[in-house]
Amino acid sequence: MIYKAMSEKNIENRSKQTCPHRTGSTGFGIVRRQLHDSKQNNEEPSRAEIFTDELKSRIEAGQNHEEAFVPVLGKDQPGRLRCYGASVTRSSLKRHEEIHQVRGEYDDKVSSIERQMEGVCGLLTVMLQQMNFGKSEEDIAALVQAVRNSPSDASS
């Protein structure tokens, strides 16, 4: 009876583990020994080196970064993402990426309009110089600059 309760408690505890003691079929002890043997000064590898070595080997084997991360460090808790800080979820991260993409498209459109505005102002300057209303080049440049800086009134 005691052994059955202890077994059930151990099963429950193992299911809560977020950092497994194995990397697939190879245990961390074997990975640690391989890293120790590969070092020239025979120093013990740190835990970080073991994780980074395993991540590198999985990425080199063709897994993408996300596919390599989960088996090494374990599944994320529901509603959370490791390495992103508090209150970041997959949906909030996706939303942030979408906003960043839209903002990039907006910035591209604004810079395109600014380039077009520069062209129009240059054309206006040339036209005013050719019409020569008796104004100097400085007066024409000031006039174009005033038009460029004045806000457009959409209600008129």
Question: Tens digits of per-residue pLDDT, 47-57?
Answer: 778 788 888 88
Residue 121 contacts residue 150 (beta carbons within 8 Å)? no
What is the pLDDT, as a whole number, of residue 136? Answer: 79
Report helix, strand or coil for 18: coil
pLDDT band at residue 5 using 50, 70 and 90 as cut-offs: very high
Reported confidence tier of residue 156, pLDDT bands at 50, 70, 90: very low
Distance CA 26, CA 32 (A): 11
Tell me the HSE value of 32 on the side-chain side, using a 13 A CA sphere.
Answer: 11
**Does the pLDDT at position 24 exceed 70?**
no
58/87: higher pLDDT: 58
The mean per-residue pLDDT over the stretch 66-83 comes to 78
Q: Give the number of other CB atoms < 10 A from CB of residue 38.
A: 10
Token pair in block for residue 96: 């942030």
pLDDT of residue 19: 60
Does the pLDDT at position 110 exceed 90? yes
Distance between CA 26 and CA 49 in Å, rounded?
16
* Better pLDDT: 73 or 151: 73
- Three-state DSSP class for 109? helix
Q: How far apart are CA 77 and CA 81, in angstroms?
A: 7
DSSP string, 52-101: HHHHHHHHHTT--HHHHHHHHH-PPPTT--TTS-TT--HHHHHHHHHHHH
Q: Is the pTM of this model over 0.85?
A: no
Burial (CB count <10 Å: 0-12, 13-18, 19+), residue 54: buried
Query: At CB < 8 A and 24+ separation, what contacts does 133-139 make?
Result: none
